[in-house]
Every structure is written in C-alpha cells, then in structure tokens.
C-alpha cells in the first residue's frame, strides 16, 4: 500500500519537476500564439471581447504556477481583513500595495487573487526586459502589463498611457504595485535607511523606504476609475510550513502564509504630490508596524493599535488542478509520441537533439528557480542614490 510519505517522495523526483517545467513552457508558447492571433485580429475591432477571452488564456498560464503552490506543495494562505473589505473582493478595480520581503510573496498574492476570481485580469509593473521572455513575459505583453525601464520620464509616459487601458475592462482589475521598487535584502535595507536619515524620514525595520513618484502617478491616473487601494502585508508562518521558497514548493513542501489586508478608499489620498508622498510614507510606517509585530509575535496586531480582524475562509478552487492535469496530459502524450518516433527512426542525430532538449529544459527549470531567490535579486536599491522626490 502507498503511504503519504511515498507521495511526498514522488513530488521530489526531478523527472516530474522537468515535466512540470516542459508543460509550462509548451503550453505557454501555445497560449502566446493564441494571444498574438487574437491581438492582431480581434483586439483592434472589439477590445472588450479580446480582454474577456484573454482573461481565460492568462488564467490557464498563471494557474499552472498556482497549481505548484496549492496542489503540488499543499501551500495555503490565511487572510485577516474586515467584513467591509471582504465583501468587496473580486467586485471592484483596486490598486494593490504589497510588501516585497520574501521570495514567494507575489505567489501568495496570486492565491488570494484566484480565490477572489481576479487572477486572469491581474496586472503588474515589471522590468521592460521581461516582455521579451517567452511564456509569461509574452503573455504579459499581450495583457497590458506595464513595462518600466527605470528611467522616470519614459516610465511616466508609459504609466499615463497604459493605465487608461484598464478602465473599460469587462472584469475587475487588481493592479499590483511594489512601492519599494525592489525586493527587500539586508544590503538594500541598509542603503534605504541611510537615505531615510539623509531625508529626515522615519526609519523602517521590515521595509525599504517606498518610492513615491510611481505611486503618485498611479493615484493621479486611477482616481475616478479605481475606487480603492488594498494595502496587503504578507508574512509567513514557519511553524506550520517551511521557508517560503519556490524550491521548497517544487519539492512538495508546504508553505503557510498569513496576510493582513486593509481596504482604503483612493479618495483618501491627497491630490497634491507632497500630500500623496506623505500619505504613502505613513502607509508604510503602518505596514512596518504590522509586519514587525508579526515577525516578533506571530500576530500582525499584538504590538500595535491597528484594527484586529478574524481570518476569512478562502478555500482553494479546483480549476488550477483541472487546468494543470489537462495540459500535462496533452504535453506528455505529445512528448511520448515524439520520442517514440525518434526511437523508431533510429537517427543518432535526432536522438542527440532530443536529449539536448531535455538537458536544456532541466537547466532552464533551475535557472527560473534561481531568479526567485533573494540573493539573486537585482542590485537596484542597494545603494543610497535613490531619487524619488
């Protein structure tokens, strides 16, 4: 008889990891091709219909990563928020302000978005170079993601133009902004606090000083069309799960996240630049209190006077599992047919080529994992030369 431990061991097999990677890549290219055809034939004439179809194409791709978290590793989220906030989820456009402290905090955000039925219409700010990356980068390119070059005059124009694309979407849009501009590391935190001292800003323990210009531009562009900000603070419960890394998830190890979410009317943010900047700094001081309390006590609100909320039931949905099983069955059947034909042909060159594909896929898998590691993050923000005001 098979025991649970046997299934845990199976999830560590490199062959299955490779199958997941190849499935994601092949399905991604197929989805990209469908997006391209619809982008050039349908979108110019019926944008709303294009966005409606693309919602499901994006979900089919992104939910494969969701499968890795929810079903492969059994990872989960526990969300703390108010009744008022909870009843609006998935029913309104929102700007998401999230801390970027951990390797997979973004993936926990995807889980919440999926359970709020907004994953397919979620939008992100990403590096411009990402639009050239097959699968996820190309998918974002066809889905109105905002690609930034970290040159303010260029980025400002891009943001002004691109944000307007979301106003007439047929589904609620959740637009994610990491206002810190980069992922937290000790070196970046040190540089950020040096910057804070020079500018006379209060220092933060668990966050970098937020970059205000992008936030101000977002608020000015969104007011009147996006009603709220969701302030999202992500922590990880390492008593109930392992360290929050993509590699742990790939090996079938559970990660447990706890998330505190506040719903803030966008109208509360002042219209002037200085007022909006001060508002963001105060927001991050409150986020810092929440995360510091959580990291010290396991509770977001034990060591501060911010509102206490009960956790909300957000059961996982079956669609990421169904989607992954269908894609895996299709891809595996094609791979087996391909290799069978190679063996029958007896061509040494063809067999060598096929082995090369497997090796490249294997290397690519672990290159992707390496990109999520904190120590492999960009150097952006690791010196105190920030120019945000």
User: What is the average pLDDT score of the chain?
Assistant: 89
Architecture of domain 4-322+367-376: 3-Layer(aba) Sandwich (3.40)
pLDDT in tens, 23-53: 998 899 999 999 999 999 999 999 999 999 9
Would you kindly state where each structural domain of the chain is located, as residue ranges? Answer: 4-322+367-376
State the Cα–Cα distance between residues 73 and 17, nearest whole angstrom: 12
CA dist list (Å): 360 to 18, 131, 132, 249, 353: 10, 21, 19, 22, 10
Q: What is the pLDDT of residue 7?
A: 65
Name the token pair of 141.
């390119």
Ramachandran area for residue 90 (φ above 0: left; ψ -120 to 50: alpha; else beta): left
State the Cα–Cα distance between residues 340 and 333, nearest whole angstrom: 11
DSSP state of 351: H
Sheet holding 94-98, edge to edge: 146-148, 123-127, 174-177, 94-98, 228-236, 256-265, 76-80, 311-312
Q: Is the pLDDT reported for residue 316 higher than 50?
A: yes
Name the token pair of 266.
């966008």
Q: Is the pLDDT reported for residue 380 higher than 60?
A: no
Q: Is the pLDDT reported for residue 115 higher than 90?
A: yes
State the Cα–Cα distance between residues 38 and 188, nearest whole angstrom: 42
Average of pLDDT values for 56-65? 97
State the Cα–Cα distance between residues 294 and 303, nearest whole angstrom: 9
Q: What is the pLDDT of residue 119?
A: 96
Rg for the chain, CA atoms, rounded: 22
Residue 329 exposed, middle or buried by CB count within 10 Å (0-12, 13-18, 19+): exposed
Question: What is the DSSP track for 201-268?
Answer: PPP-SSSPPPPHHHHHHHHHHHTTT--EEEEEEEEE-TTTS----HHHHHTT---EEEEEEEEEEGGG
Q: What is the pLDDT of residue 241?
A: 95
State the Cα–Cα distance between residues 89 and 80, nearest whole angstrom: 13
Q: Is the pLDDT reported for residue 137 higher than 70?
A: yes
Q: Is the pLDDT reported for residue 343 higher than 90?
A: no
Average of pLDDT values for 75-79? 97
Q: Is the pLDDT reported for residue 1 higher than 60?
A: no
Q: Is the pLDDT reported for residue 83 higher than 90?
A: yes
The model's pTM is 0.89
**Nearest CA among 269, 190, 256, 183 for reference residue 223:** 269
Q: What is the pLDDT of residue 77?
A: 97
Q: What is the pLDDT of residue 19?
A: 86
End-to-end CA distance of the chain: 64
Give the residue with greater pLDDT, 355 vs 247. 247
Residue % of the chain over a pLDDT of 70:
89
Contact between 97 and 229 (Cβ < 8 Å)? yes
Q: Choose the weakest-confidence range: 190-204, 221-235, 355-369.
A: 355-369
Q: Choose the weakest-confidence range: 53-67, 216-230, 285-299, 324-338.
A: 324-338
pLDDT in tens, 222-231: 999 999 999 9
Q: What is the pLDDT of residue 342?
A: 72
Give the residue with greater pLDDT, 381 vs 119. 119
């Amino acid at each position: 008889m098979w025991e649970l431990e046997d299934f845990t061991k199976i999830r560590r097999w490199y062959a299955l990891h490779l199958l997941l990677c190849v499935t994601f890549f092949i399905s991604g290219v197929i989805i990209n091709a469908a997006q391209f055809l619809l982008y050039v034939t349908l979108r110019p004439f019926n944008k709303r219909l294009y966005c409606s179809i693309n919602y499901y194409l994006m979900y089919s791709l992104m939910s494969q990563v969701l499968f890795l978290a929810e079903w492969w590793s059994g990872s989960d989220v526990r969300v703390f928020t108010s009744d008022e906030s909870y009843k609006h989820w998935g029913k309104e456009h929102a700007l998401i302000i999230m801390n970027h402290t951990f390797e997979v905090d973004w993936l926990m955000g995807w889980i919440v978005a999926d359970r709020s039925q907004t994953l397919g219409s979620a939008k992100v700010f990403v590096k411009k170079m990402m639009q050239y990356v097959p699968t996820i980068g190309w998918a974002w390119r066809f889905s109105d993601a905002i690609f930034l070059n970290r040159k303010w005059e260029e980025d400002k124009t891009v943001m002004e133009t691109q944000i307007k694309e979301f106003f007439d979407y047929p589904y609620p849009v959740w637009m994610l902004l990491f206002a810190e501009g980069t992922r937290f590391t000790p070196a970046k935190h040190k540089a950020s606090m040096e910057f804070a001292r020079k500018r006379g800003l209060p220092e933060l323990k668990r966050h970098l000083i937020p970059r205000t210009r992008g936030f101000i531009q977002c608020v000015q562009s969104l007011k009147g069309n996006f009603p709220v900000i969701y302030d999202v603070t992500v922590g990880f419960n390492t008593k109930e799960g392992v360290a929050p890394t993509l590699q742990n998830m790939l090996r079938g190890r559970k990660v447990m996240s706890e998330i505190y979410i506040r719903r803030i009317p966008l109208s509360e943010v002042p219209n002037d630049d200085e007022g909006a900047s001060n508002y963001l700094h105060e927001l991050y001081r409150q986020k810092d209190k929440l995360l510091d309390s959580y990291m010290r006590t396991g509770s977001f609100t034990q060591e501060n006077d911010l509102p206490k909320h009960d956790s909300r039931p957000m059961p996982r949905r079956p669609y990421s599992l169904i989607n992954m099983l269908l894609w895996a069955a299709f891809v595996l059947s094609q791979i087996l047919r391909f290799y069978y034909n190679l063996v029958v042909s007896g061509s040494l060159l063809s067999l060598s080529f096929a082995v090369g594909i497997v090796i490249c896929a294997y290397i690519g898998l672990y290159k992707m994992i390496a990109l999520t590691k904190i120590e492999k993050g960009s150097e952006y923000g690791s010196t105190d030369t920030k120019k945000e005001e």
